[in-house]
Structure 1
Amino acid sequence: MHKGIIDSGFNVNMKIDQSIDRDGNVLEYCRLKNITIQAWSPFQYGFFEGTFLDNEKFKELNDKIDEIAAKKGVPSIAIPIAWILRHPAKIQPIVGTTNPARLKDICKASEIELTREEWYELYRAAGNKLP
């Protein structure tokens, strides 16, 4: 849900809030210099609100996650991590769980690769627009 670092790259030269480069283009710099960025707590959408997974507030996103997970034969929790791993900057997710069963399900993300279409479908399902 915190994808501002990705938004500015999509919205270059657009007169919308998502085009504002708030971080000095750290993501692009790191990608070009082969510096690893870590995505901490990738399932969290707010400090008190919890995760976006299985949350009615994000029904469209969860429906798309479930659809792709069923098609790929992996648990739904693996899809957001596969989305992060698909980015060309080679972002490293820090999932923040000590539950072995949950970690095993999350690790299935490394066994699949989302297509570009699936990647962008998830981006849009999270309420984002593409230029």
Structure 2
Amino acid sequence: MVAFAKGSEPGIFLGSPDYPELNAEIERLAEKYSVEPIAVACAWITRHPANMQVVLGTTTPSRIVDAAAGSDIPLARAEWYSLIQAAGHKLP
């Protein structure tokens, strides 16, 4: 399990049973792009309009490689918004 925090709320979202819809969408996109879920999460975060950055708290080389694969994912706008909706946010 990778500890991606959800905003200022406590806990994690990646791999957490507390966010089944979000993780199902992340898994779907990971399968589509043949990457690990951490890559999709990184792609999603780094494509946020606020120019967010990912801070990895790991020294495990394979996790770093898996996360970096997110920079190669051509995440479409519809896919990005599907993740937002799966995270429970309503769109106008």
Band of TM-score, shorter chain: 0.7 to 0.9
1:102 aligned to which of 63, 71, 87: 63
Letter in 1 for 2:21: E
2:77 aligned to which of 108, 116, 129: 116
Partner of 2:23: 62
- Give the structure with the larger strand fraction: 1
1:72 aligns with 2:21: no
| Unmatched 5+ stretches in structure 2 | none
Q: Which has the larger radius of gyration?
A: 1
**Cα distance, 1:87 vs structure 2:** 2.6
Amino-acid identity (%)? 45
C-alpha distance in 2 between matches for 1:92 and 1:100: 19
Matched residue count:
88
TM-score normalised by the chain length of structure 1: 0.61
C-alpha distance in 2 between matches for 1:100 and 1:57: 28
**Cα distance, 1:91 vs structure 2:** 2.5
- After TM superposition, the runs of 4+ consecutive aligned structure 1 residues lying more than 3 A away are none
